[in-house]
Structure 1
Amino acid sequence: MSIPHLFRCPISLDLFTDPVTLSTGQTYDRPSIEKWLADGNLTCPVTMQKLHDTTLVPNHTLRHLIDQWLLTGPDLNSRQKPTNPITDCDLSLSTLKQSLQSPNATRAAKLEALKKVRILSVESDIGQACLIQLGFFPLLLQLLFQTHRIGDLELVQLALDCVLTLSPSTQLDSLNMLKNEIHLTSLVVLLEQGNLKIKTSLCHLLEAIATSPVTQDLCIIIAQLRRVLQVLVSLLHNKSDPPAAEAAARAISAICSLEANRDNAIEEGAVDGLIAYLSLNSSQKSACRALATLELLLGLEAGKKAVMENLNAVRVLVRMVFRVSSDQEGSEHAVGSLLIMCCGSARVRMEAVNAGLLIQLLLLLQSQCSSRAKTEARGLLKLLRSMWPEDPRGS
Structure 2
Amino acid sequence: MTLSWRRLRPGRHSAKHSRHGEAGGDIELTIPSHFRCPISLDLMKDPVTLSTGITYDRQSIEKWIEAGNVTCPTTNQVLTTLEPIPNHTMRKMIQDWCVEKKSFGVERIPTPRIPVSSVEVAEILSRISSSAEKKDEAGCRELVQKVKALTKESERNKRCIVANGAASSLAAAFGAFSTAGSFHENVGVLEEILSALTLIFPLRSEANVYLGSTDSLHCMVRFLDGGDLSQRRNAVLVLKEALSADKQKTDALEEIEGALEALVKLIKEPICPTSTKASLVIIYHMLNSTSSSSRESVKGKFVQMGLVSMLSELVVDAERSICEKALGVLDAICGSKQGREETRDNALIMPVVVKKMLRVSDLATEFAVSILWKLCKKDEREDDEGGLVLEVLQVGAFQKLLLLLQVGCGERTKEKATELLKLLNLHRARLECIESMDFKELKRPF
Equivalent residue for 1:279, pick from 316, 333, 336: 316
Distance 1:3 1:131, change over 3 A: farther
Give the corresponding residue for 2:392: 352
Distance 1:339 1:218, change over 3 A: closer
Give the corresponding residue for 2:355: 319
Give the corresponding residue for 2:421: 381
Distance in 1 separating the partners of 2:123 and 2:359: 53
Which amino acid is the alignment partner of residue 388 of structure 1? R
Which amino acid is the alignment partner of residue 311 of structure 1? A
- Superposition map of 1:100-119 within 5 A: 101-102=130-131, 103=136, 105=138, 109-110=142-143, 112-116=145-149, 118-119=151-152
Which amino acid is the alignment partner of residue 113 of structure 1? K
The answer on whether the counterparts of 1:298 and 1:340 sit within 8 Å (CA) in structure 2 is yes
Distance in 2 separating the partners of 1:308 and 1:159: 44
Give the corresponding residue for 1:237: 268
The answer on whether the counterparts of 1:161 and 1:201 sit within 8 Å (CA) in structure 2 is yes
Distance in 2 separating the partners of 1:184 and 1:281: 29
Shift of 1:391: 11
Distance 1:356 1:134, change over 3 A: closer
TM-score, normalised with respect to structure 2: 0.59
Which amino acid is the alignment partner of residue 242 of structure 2? I
Which amino acid is the alignment partner of residue 296 of structure 2? D
The answer on whether the counterparts of 2:284 and 2:332 sit within 8 Å (CA) in structure 1 is no
Which amino acid is the alignment partner of residue 288 of structure 1? E
Give the corresponding residue for 1:249: 280
Which amino acid is the alignment partner of residue 279 of structure 1? V
Distance in 2 separating the partners of 1:264 and 1:349: 28
Q: Secondary structure at the match of 1:322?
A: coil
Distance in 1 separating the partners of 2:430 and 2:374: 25
Give the corresponding residue for 1:93: 122
Give the corresponding residue for 1:207: 240
Q: Say if 2:176 is the partner of 1:142.
A: yes
Equivalent residue for 1:332, pick from 345, 366, 369: 366
The answer on whether the counterparts of 2:311 and 2:326 sit within 8 Å (CA) in structure 1 is yes
Distance 1:3 1:304, change over 3 A: farther
CA offsets per residue over residues 169-216 of structure 1, 9 Å max, x none? Answer: 24422224x313xx444222111122333323322222223222xx44
Give the corresponding residue for 1:225: 256
Shift of 1:247: 1.7
Q: Say if 2:225 is the partner of 1:192.
A: yes
The answer on whether the counterparts of 1:249 and 1:274 sit within 8 Å (CA) in structure 2 is no
Distance 1:391 1:320, change over 3 A: closer
The answer on whether the counterparts of 1:275 and 1:312 sit within 8 Å (CA) in structure 2 is yes
Q: With CA pairs under 8 Å and 6+ residues apart, which has the higher RCO, 1 or 2?
A: 1
Q: Say if 2:409 is the partner of 1:369.
A: yes
Distance in 2 separating the partners of 1:255 and 1:105: 36
Equivalent residue for 2:336, pick from 290, 293, 300: 300
Distance in 2 separating the partners of 1:341 and 1:289: 19
Distance in 2 separating the partners of 1:311 and 1:243: 28
Which amino acid is the alignment partner of residue 333 of structure 1? F
Distance in 1 separating the partners of 2:49 and 2:311: 48
TM-score, normalised with respect to structure 1: 0.65
Q: Percent same amino acid among aligned pairs?
A: 18
CA offsets per residue over residues 86-132 of structure 1, 9 Å max, x none? Answer: 689x9553245425743174587345434246448964433312134
Which amino acid is the alignment partner of residue 129 of structure 1? A
Q: Secondary structure at the match of 2:323?
A: helix
Unpaired runs of at least 5, structure 2: 1-47, 52-66, 70-80, 92-109, 378-382, 433-446
Equivalent residue for 1:126, pick from 157, 160, 175: 160
The answer on whether the counterparts of 2:121 and 2:164 sit within 8 Å (CA) in structure 1 is no
Distance 1:82 1:309, change over 3 A: farther
Q: Say if 2:318 is the partner of 1:288.
A: no
The answer on whether the counterparts of 1:77 and 1:84 sit within 8 Å (CA) in structure 2 is no
Distance 1:134 1:391, change over 3 A: closer
Shift of 1:335: 1.1
Distance 1:186 1:169, change over 3 A: closer
The answer on whether the counterparts of 2:221 and 2:258 sit within 8 Å (CA) in structure 1 is yes
The answer on whether the counterparts of 1:304 and 1:341 sit within 8 Å (CA) in structure 2 is yes
Distance in 2 separating the partners of 1:330 and 1:116: 39
The answer on whether the counterparts of 1:204 and 1:247 sit within 8 Å (CA) in structure 2 is yes
Shift of 1:332: 2.1
Give the corresponding residue for 2:209: 173
CA offsets per residue over residues 322-342 of structure 1, 9 Å max, x none? Answer: 223xx3332122112112212
The answer on whether the counterparts of 1:223 and 1:265 sit within 8 Å (CA) in structure 2 is yes
The structure that is helix-richer by fraction is: 1
Distance 1:150 1:302, change over 3 A: farther
Distance 1:296 1:109, change over 3 A: closer
Distance 1:256 1:201, change over 3 A: farther
Which amino acid is the alignment partner of residue 363 of structure 2? E
Distance 1:184 1:172, change over 3 A: closer
The answer on whether the counterparts of 2:233 and 2:271 sit within 8 Å (CA) in structure 1 is no
Which amino acid is the alignment partner of residue 199 of structure 1? R
Q: Secondary structure at the match of 1:369?
A: coil
Distance 1:239 1:125, change over 3 A: closer
Shift of 1:359: 3.2
